[in-house]
Amino acid sequence: MQELNGQSRIKSKTFGRKASRMRPAEREALQLHLESLRVPDDELINERTFGRSGPLFVEIGFGNGEFLYDMALRHPEANFVGIEVFITGVAKLIRRMCQYNNENTPSPQNIRILIKDGEGALRENFMDNTISGVFILFPDPWPKKRHHKRRLIKPGFIQLLYQRLRPGGTLLIVTDHDGYAEEIGRILEASPLVKGDQQIPPSALNTKYAQRAISEGRTPFIFNYQKPSSAANQPVIEPSHKGSTDQTIQESIDEPKETAERRDGITRVY
């Protein structure tokens, strides 16, 4: 882990900041509630994760969690896993779940959080043919050519995601970046996924990044795909686990001394 400008960062290829300065209430929300919501780094996600069965939906890169929260409220019968690497976004989701009062128990209770790289999480925490739907809204576009290799959506990632989807399982990707949209389109067309007919949840176009795109006059591209219902269940590839990030997450939650001294109440939202 590096300390840069007083903020904690973890080196990574596919994502940038792990944390920005947090408000005290956000830090407290993490300290009080993260343990009960978080899926341990090496846990296989199944019915025990939620204490009940139900269709499993996953959002990768949930940002501040507006969409995940809305979907979990609207679909109490389903189980939702939010995957995010940006700990300040995790704190904002938990604040939302507590109705902005940390004394409240977070709700709805069908949300669990994985603080992990999306591809690693798919590989290590999910079994084949178990996910009913994956949402990826405004993935970081990494616009510079030399950074394209950092993009989340690559052929190998989509192949892995295909395996983890159950037959008929859906994939929704939204981006407002022309170049990334072209690349995503090519990758999906070359994949075993087929065009889907799921209804686009209105809140997918109501996230922070969706609102920014729309207010700046960019029309989001929507990719609506699914695993064919007829897809035969493939041989299960056992998830493999590659070491825990628990320590680095705790370091991100613990208030850096410098931040505590310079606390100014300003949180830059990514």
Ligand X SMILES: C[S@@+](CC[C@H](N)C(=O)[O-])C[C@H]1O[C@@H](n2cnc3c(N)ncnc32)[C@H](O)[C@@H]1O
Q: Which residues are catalytic?
A: 140
- Stretch of 39-47, 84-92, 225-233, 252-260 lying at the interface with ligand X (CB under 6 A): 84-92
Q: Is 83 in the site for ligand X (CB under 6 A)?
A: yes
Alpha-helical (H) ranges within the chain are: 24-37, 47-50, 66-74, 87-97, 118-125, 155-164, 178-189, 208-215, 246-253, 257-261
Hey, which residues between 201 and 260 contact ligand X (CB under 6 A)? 207-210
Cis omega (within 30 of 0) for bond into 155: no
Give the nearer residue to ligand X in terms of CB position, either 153 or 188: 153
Element spanning 164, H or E: helix 155-164
Q: Is 118 in the site for ligand X (CB under 6 A)?
A: yes
- For 39-147, list the strands marked E by DSSP: 56-60, 79-84, 111-115, 131-137
Hey, which residues between 98 and 117 contact ligand X (CB under 6 A)? 117
Give the nearer residue to ligand X in terms of CB position, either 71 or 137: 137
> With contacts defined by CB under 6 A, how many residues of the chain interact with ligand X?
23
Q: Is 86 helix (H, G, I), strand (E, B) or coil?
A: coil
Site map (CB under 6 A) of ligand X, residues 13-32, x = contact: -xx-----------------
Q: In this structure, what token pair is assigned to residue 77?
A: 């019968």
Q: What is the CA radius of gyration of the chain?
A: 18
Q: Contacting ligand X (CB under 6 A), which of 26, 41, 140, 176? A: 140
CB 122 within 8 A of CB 161: yes
- Stretch of 41-49, 80-88, 154-162, 178-186 lying at the interface with ligand X (CB under 6 A): 80-88
Q: Contacting ligand X (CB under 6 A), which of 50, 62, 126, 157? A: 62
Give the nearer residue to ligand X in terms of CB position, either 26 or 84: 84
Q: What distance lies between CA 177 and its chain's CA centroid?
A: 19
Question: How many other CB atoms sit within 10 Å of the CB of residue 102?
Answer: 17
Give the nearer residue to ligand X in terms of CB position, either 23 or 194: 23
Strand partners, 170: 133, 226
Q: Is 122 in the site for ligand X (CB under 6 A)?
A: no
Q: Is 41 in the site for ligand X (CB under 6 A)?
A: no
CB 83 within 8 A of CB 119: no
Residues that bind ligand X (CB under 6 A): 14-15, 60-63, 83-86, 89, 117-118, 137-140, 152, 207-210, 270
